[in-house]
Amino acid sequence: MAKLSQSDKTQRMMQLLLSLGNPRIGRALASIGFGQADLDEGWSLLRNLRDVRFDASVRPVDASALTRLDQWENRWFPIANAAIKRRFPAVHAALFLNLSQADGLDVINTVGVFVDRLDKLATSADPDTQSALEVLRARGIDEQRLGEARALLQELGTATTAIPAPTPEDQEALARREAELWAWYLEWSSLARSVVTDRRLLRSMGFLRPAKKGGTVEEEGDGEEDEDDAPVPGPGPAPAPVG
């Protein structure tokens, strides 16, 4: 089965945490030892997954420029990907490492990284790199096209030199934080299902998901990462389930 993305995990974590504001769910979890320290830990793990800082100097984003930048990305990322993936895999890897199409404000970073990496590749003396860049120019990703992206980035108030790609150390730290968050979720989602049986409550906790074949029928999500194939815990000898 498909592996859950980091976004999937954070959404499940958020829904579970928010559902704990329901007194019936809160009382059910309290009966198996869930307390304020556990709640605080869950929110802390969610906040710390991404290191976000508020910058009061940031200007409001120009929605029109953001839309045009998104359109630029939607047109040229797939072309660049297809143009060099087969013939120049090493150059493709350098250009697209941890980089994929995004939505909303994330487009500013993805396009910025893309342009910055192409600028760096242009300084390489490697023949394959230069051949790959020639192919990209032939497909339309030339200096004029990159200039359009730079102008939009400038209009959006970002530097034309974008945020660098994460280092291996950054990636390892992020993976550790993701693993800690998901371990918390797996523990408490399993325990929660042992004391909550009401379908409305389970739905609010994110444990009931739409069936894949349409309609309004719902199937119970196991709350586990799909590749784990861990069994869904059934009610045990613990406290009486909330119904």
Question: Are 221 and 209 contacting, i.e. CB atoms less than 8 angstroms apart?
Answer: yes
What DSSP state is assigned to residue 220?
E
| Amino acid sitting at position 11 | Q
pLDDT tens, 58-101? 556 788 999 999 999 999 999 999 999 999 999 999 999 989 99
- Domain boundaries in the chain? 6-52+169-228, 63-155
pLDDT tens, 156-168? 875 444 455 667 8
pLDDT value of position 157: 72
* CA-based end-to-end distance of the chain: 31
Q: Which of 127, 122, 99, 126 is nearest to 112 (CA)?
A: 99
Global pTM? 0.49
Number of C-alpha atoms within 13 angstroms, CB side, residue 213? 0
Residue spans of alpha helices (H) in the chain: 6-19, 23-30, 36-49, 63-84, 89-96, 106-121, 127-138, 143-155, 168-195, 199-204
